[in-house]
Structure 1
Amino acid sequence: MDEFTYVIIGGGMAGQRACEGIRRVDTEGSIALVTQEPHRPYQRPPLSKGYLQGREGLDKVYLQEASYYAENRIELLQGVAATRIDPAAHTVSLADGRELRYKKLLLATGGRARRLPLPGADLRGVLVLRTIEDSDAISEAAAPGRRVVIVGGSFIGAEVAASLTQRGAEVSMVFPEERLLKRVASAEVGAMLHDMYTAHGVRIHTGVVPERFEGDGRVERVVLADGTVLPTDLVVMGVGIVLNTELAREAGLEMTDHGAVLVDRYLRTSDADIYAAGDIAAWPDRTFDKVLRVEHWDVARRHGLR
């Protein structure tokens, strides 16, 4: 069994910044970073913007050079999932059969893209955006002139719509709210964005949801709840994430009513040797006097550096 001072599960912003934060204060402690993706840690914002548009390469997506991990004596375990945590034994079991013993453990497992459980959602061409591979698949499918329906009117949907429009795709958006970015933008800003997007050719369908996707093996139409039929070559769902909290829950850590991992102001969970950061962590905010959880890259960055 391999033993480490620190084990970090998750190869996103919080996990990477945690490595950097640890090395600022502890140059000797051993670190293992476990990520089930085949990549070294990377950031997700470019996947819906510069990388998707083709303006930026993977060098703008990765958070550090490949040499960083050996230079800082961080064992990077890529392409392997953590399957179980034993808090009493201070061990993490991996899918390949290895076990890691830790003194301190950080859960920075983030989330996976949510898929709407609708008829036809398993057709080819019904995609989501969360990983590098997702962005590559959308980029390959959304050639100039292709018809794309984006389900969702929040950040991901708006960013993908803008990026694919710039690439020459014919984009339609569908979401149940009455305006773009309703949860984060005022009515005035929403109206401005609506005008901007439609001026660039985006067709926006507000106050309606998809009922099903149709096609012969591959998506060809999106049927909306109001009966509207949108012919399409591609669907991108941007309807949020499902938190990857299974490890935390099965380890017996305290959870919030909404399924996040409850932490204190120092990001400690109900187990004193296990911490959580990023999307999965909910913490008490003294300013607003309530428990908060925020899905944002800068929150993940700050959590990691703490």
Structure 2
Amino acid sequence: MTERIVIAGAGHAAGQLVGSLKQQAYAGEIILIGDEAYLPYQRPPLSKKFLSGDLSAERLYVKPHDFYEDPQIRTCLETRIVRIDRSAKTIKTDDGNSIPYDKLILALGSRVRRLPIDGADLEGVHYLRSIADVEGIREEMRSRNNAVIIGAGYIGLEVAAVIRQLGLDVTVIEMADRVMSRVVSPEVSDFYQTEHSTRGVKLRLSTGTKALVGDVRVNAVETVDGELIPADFVVIGVGILPNTELASDAGITVEDGIVVDDRCQTNDPDIYAVGDCTSHPNSIYGRRLRLESVHNALEQAKTAVNNICGNETHYSQVPWFWSDQYDLKLQIAGLSTGYDEVVIRGDPADRSFACLYLKDGRLIATDAVNSPREFVQSKALIAARARIDSNTLANTDLQLKDMLL
């Protein structure tokens, strides 16, 4: 009897899972189940080049459509898994089907965090997580003038940059006192605030959103401090939540994500999990991490497939992320949580610099703005848990790679 792997989820990680299984010459059946109407595609470009129209939908896909025409692969799109029966080793879908598995891989991803405020269901209010979401926002961009973005994280600022470059009026509302406060230093926040303000984006920091105003369609946003901001449409980007309910309902351990080991295996030896929905042990930082990162999703997918196919692999890597805003590429290596010292390499006035974070003398993270070399070289230093004097780090006459002894 042919072995079968069922992949729950059809996002970026799922596309990598199928590709890796084929690469490993897996001989069994592969069933891919996802609730969207699309085959696996990349999400990062959605708020960047796809929103701006510089990237076509065809180029979003992880693999060309004919890749999935392989008789070994079966796709079930617009299908939701409602239950995992671990004892019977089956999953049940919302159309009533029961599908057996030998191995199940949970690539469930995440969903947008929704704002529980008055007016959130008005027409013209958007979130950004899917191709369909972007198509709705694009339609607004073609016919409206005033955009309000709620949230000044990666998504909010990337959307603000795209919309502003098209000539629309843009206001960004953020509860924190600086942009991207969860992920970058005050120095990097200040730099990006200046960039957005210089280009005409109006920033409303240290204020929350009280309500979205309108009858059928939104026409304004009311802040908690009483300001009424005109809005022809609104885009909300206030974070994401991991999709873990299917796993927890099945008795799979969940603690801020589906708990996996460094082989991407859950507490059920026949069930693996990868991507945004997981919490994994990281030896570099000495703690469990739940990462919202494409790199993490892809590398975990490769790790899970290796282990399923009998090639023992242990996952622990330096996390990394990126954001494109205007002509600025922000690349982040590592996690800066708990840093006690910051070193700046280069001059922000040159629009090319790096912010390096240390904790107890060790480099733990780097924010690199238009500095790809600093980004790449700092990853190696972080992985090595290198101790480097801050004065040495600040010396731009020395390359970071030369500091790794």
For normalisation by structure 2, the TM-score amounts to 0.73
Task: Classify 1:15/1:32 alpha carbon distance in 2 versus 1 (closer, same or farther; 3 Å).
Answer: same
Tell me the residue number matched to 1:302. Answer: 299
* 2:246 counterpart of 1:274: no
The equivalences for 1:1-306 within 5 A come to 5-71=4-70, 73-143=72-142, 146-256=145-255, 258=256, 260-306=257-303
1:189, 1:182 → 2: CA distance? 9
TM-fit CA distance, 1:209: 0.6
**1:67 counterpart SS class:** helix
Q: Deviations over 1:161-202 (max 9, x none)?
A: 111112222111001111111122221111111111111110
- Aligned structure 1 segments of 4 or more residues deviating by more than 6 angstroms: none
AA at the equivalent of 1:54: G
Q: By how many angstroms is 1:143 displaced?
A: 2.6
Paired residue type of 1:92: I
Contact kept? 2:170, 2:201, Cα under 8 Å: yes
User: How far apart are the structure 1 equivalents of 2:150 and 2:268?
Assistant: 39
Q: Which moved more, 1:65-74 or 1:192-201?
A: 65-74
**Contact 2:41/2:62, CA 8 A, preserved across alignment:** yes
SS at match of 2:229: strand
Give me the whole-angstrom Cα distance separating, in 2, the residues matched to 1:175 and 1:25: 46
* Cα displacement string for residues 17-38 of structure 1 (whole angstroms, at most 9, x for unaligned residues): 1111112223311100101100
Residue 3 to residue 142, structure 1, CA distance change in 2 (3 Å) = farther
Q: In structure 2, what is the Cα distance between the partners aligned to 1:37 and 1:130?
A: 11
On the 8 A contact 2:220/2:228 being kept in 1, the answer is: yes
Higher relative contact order (CA 8 A, sep 6+): 1
Distance 1:143 1:220 in 2: 17
Query: 3-state SS of the aligned residue for 1:160?
Result: helix
TM-score normalized with structure 1 length: 0.96
Residues 144 and 232 in structure 2, CA contact (< 8 A), matched pair in contact too: no
Corresponding pairs, count: 303
Q: Which moved more, 1:14-23 or 1:36-45?
A: 14-23
3-state DSSP of counterpart to 2:167: coil
Aligned amino acid, residue 250 of structure 1: D
User: Considering only CA atoms, is the larger Rg found in Structure 1 or Structure 2?
Assistant: 2
Equivalent position amino acid for 1:188 in 2: E
Paired with 1:113 and 1:15, the residues of 2 have a C-alpha distance of: 19
What is the deviation of 1:212?
Answer: 0.5
**2:244–2:254 CA contact under 8 A, matched in 1:** no
Conserved in 2, the CA contact under 8 Å of 1:4 and 1:101? no
SS of corresponding position for 1:236: strand
5+ unaligned residues in a row in structure 2: which ranges?
304-405
Is there any run of 5+ residues in structure 1 with no aligned partner, and where?
none
Q: Which amino acid aligns with 1:22?
A: L
Instruction: Compare 202-211 and 235-244 and name the one that shifted more.
Output: 235-244
> In 2, distance between residues paired with 1:196 and 1:155?
14
Percent of counterpart pairs with the same letter? 36
